[in-house]
Structure 1
Amino acid sequence: MANLPKNAHVSQHPCLQAKLSQLRSASTSSKDVQSLVHDIALMVGYEALAQGLKAQQQGTDKSPLGYTYNTTTVSPHPTSISLVPILRSGLSMVPALTSLLPQPVAVHHLGLYREKSTLQPVEYYNNLPYHAPTTSNPNASGPSELAIIVDPVIATGATASAAIDSLKDWGVKRIIVVSVLATEEGLRQACGEWEEGVEVWVGGCDGEVDEKGMIKPGLGDIGDRLFLTIGK
């Protein structure tokens, strides 16, 4: 792992590594796959947000005993944070990340799939609100200060790079990518797309992909395993 970019972070948590080992098994049921992805997303997300956010005093409140205390939120404020799941498997990580944040945040979906022959990403859905607020439309949403991309797998890195590029064009100031498993090359590709603006956090890292673009030994088709569509 010594040759990975400085903005790549691979968790060394022993409990996470044990759960990742369970997730790899072909015998793991769809229900357990969902649970394990949630748990790993929670653990990786906890590490990522500990570095990517700061505590900020918000005001004061009273405890049940009547004592005044300083209330705390996060910076950037949740209203300036967007959660961006990559369809479809990224949806499985949304509950874990939202449970970590102190308030609800906007969720913007990106639909990307890999073309089978070239393994290059093709965008088929994008609901990023590109229009900034104006006098005639004050409720329109502009770009977030921080975007958190969630996708269980970074294989070649092409999909993650495409998502990063879309969000950079949207105007976000920083991006955190949270993933369950990546390859070394995938991490290098994703981290190099916008080195000064992106931090990538993953639960584990494998060496390479096979001729079909699947990680070795990897997790299989995590979307099919999550949604019980194997053999479709």
Structure 2
Amino acid sequence: MTAEHPSLTIVDHPLVQHKLTLMREKDGSTARFRRLLREISLLLGYEVLRDLPLTSRRIETPLEAMDSPEIEGKKLALVSILRAGNGMLEPLLELAPSARVGFLGLYRDHETLQPVEYYCKLPSELAARPVILVDPMLATANSAVAAVDKVKESGAQDVRMMTLLCAPEGVRRMAEAHPDVRVFTAALDRELNDKGYILPGLGDAGDRMFGTK
């Protein structure tokens, strides 16, 4: 957390920062970008899930019985903001393979920079589940705010967002619209350009992940 952005957590682990530098390089291959996104997402995931509530259960080890910790309550809900969010979804499923999964299709109108919804499929009982929204970029935050609106309309109360890069404008927008949503990121970059892209950034994450233009 920072004094200016109390709902923002920047994961400054050396491995995260090193891998992010490699991702930013414009000449990196699609395969390398995908691999690095997966690796960073695993590292970010540990921080996003750090304070999940625990209970204990009686088990038998090969040597004796013990009360051992396990995650309490309903399974997590992971919600990918299509399409780029899918690159962060799969690594989280490695950490939490029993999580329920939802998808929100939102694209940004390049003229208005406003989100347009084209698909929505969410898990049930969101009120009883921690909900993790994933999208590599928090730029204007218009799509992210719309995604939080949607999951809250479906009952979600504990909502967190995991992203690769943030712009200050996006962090402020999210904090104004949803001050209870914690955002976890690898870096807070300088600003947005007039097209709504993060500077210095790394380009369009979806295009770089899928090899499209």
TM-score category of the 2 structures, normalised to the smaller one: over 0.9
Shift of 1:3: 5.2
How do 1:4-19 and structure 2 match up within 5 A? 4-19=4-19
Which residue identity lines up with residue 29 of structure 1 in the other structure?
Answer: S
Q: Which residue of structure 2 aligns with residue 86 of structure 1?
A: 81
- 3-state DSSP of counterpart to 2:50: helix
Match of 1:142 in 2: 125
Q: Which has more radius of gyration?
A: 1
User: Does the alignment pair 1:68 with 2:65?
Assistant: yes
Q: CA deviation at 1:2?
A: 4.8
Matched, 1:56 2:55: yes
Q: In structure 2, what is the equivalent of residue 164 of structure 1?
A: 148
Aligned partner letter, 2:63: G
The 8 Å contact of residues 89 and 152 in structure 1, kept in 2 or not, is answered as: yes
RMSD value, Cα: 1.6
Separation (CA, whole Å) in 2 of partners of 1:16 and 1:96: 14
What CA distance in whole angstroms lies between the structure 2 residues aligned with 1:72 and 1:173? 24
Contact 1:191 1:200 in 2 (8 A): no
Give the C-alpha shift of residue 199 in structure 1: 0.8
- Per-residue deviation, residues 63-121 of structure 1 (Å, max 9, x unmatched): 2x33112232213431xx210000001001112112222x5111010000000101111
Could you tell me which residue of structure 1 aligns to residue 211 of structure 2?
228
Question: For the Cα contact (< 8 Å) 1:4–1:188, is it kept in 2?
Answer: no
Q: Which amino acid is the alignment partner of residue 26 of structure 2? A: A
* Counterpart check, 1:176 vs 2:163: no
Aligned pair partner of 1:115 in 109, 112, 135: 109
d(CA) in 2 for partners of 1:17, 1:39: 12
Structure 1 residues 2 and 174 mapped into 2: Cα distance closer, same or farther (>3 Å)?
closer
Question: Distance between the aligned counterparts of 1:157 and 1:27, measured in 2?
Answer: 27
Contact 1:76 1:146 in 2 (8 A): no
Instruction: Give the Cα separation in 1 of the matches to 2:95 and 2:63.
Output: 27
1:217 Cα offset (Å): 1.1
Is the Cα contact below 8 Å between 2:81 and 2:133 reproduced in 1?
Answer: yes
> Which amino acid is the alignment partner of residue 9 of structure 2?
H
Preserved contact between residue 101 and residue 122 of structure 2 (Cα < 8 Å): no
Paired position in structure 2 for 1:133:
none
Task: Figure out how many residues of one structure are paired with residues of the other and give that number.
Answer: 212
**Aligned amino acid, residue 13 of structure 1:** H
Residues in 2 aligned to 1:116 and 1:127: alpha-carbon distance in whole angstroms: 24
- The answer for the alignment partner of 1:100 in structure 2 is 95
Distance in 1 (alpha carbons) for counterparts of 2:174 and 2:139? 10
CA distance in 2, matches of 1:32, 1:122: 30
> Map of 1:202-217 to 2, 5 A cutoff?
202-217=185-200
Q: Percent identity?
A: 35
Q: Aligned partners of 1:111, 1:190: CA distance in 2, in Å?
A: 19
**CA shift at 1:143, angstroms?**
2.4
Shift of the alpha carbon at 1:223?
A: 0.4
Whole-angstrom distance in 2 between the partners of 1:84 and 1:117: 26
Q: Measure how far apart 1:4 and its partner are.
A: 3.1
Cα separation, 1, equivalents of 2:88 and 2:198 = 19
What is the TM-score normalised by the length of structure 2? 0.93
User: Amino acid of the residue matched to residue 94 of structure 2?
Assistant: S
Q: TM-score, normalised by structure 1?
A: 0.86
Q: What residue ranges of structure 1 are gaps of 5+ in the alignment?
A: 130-140
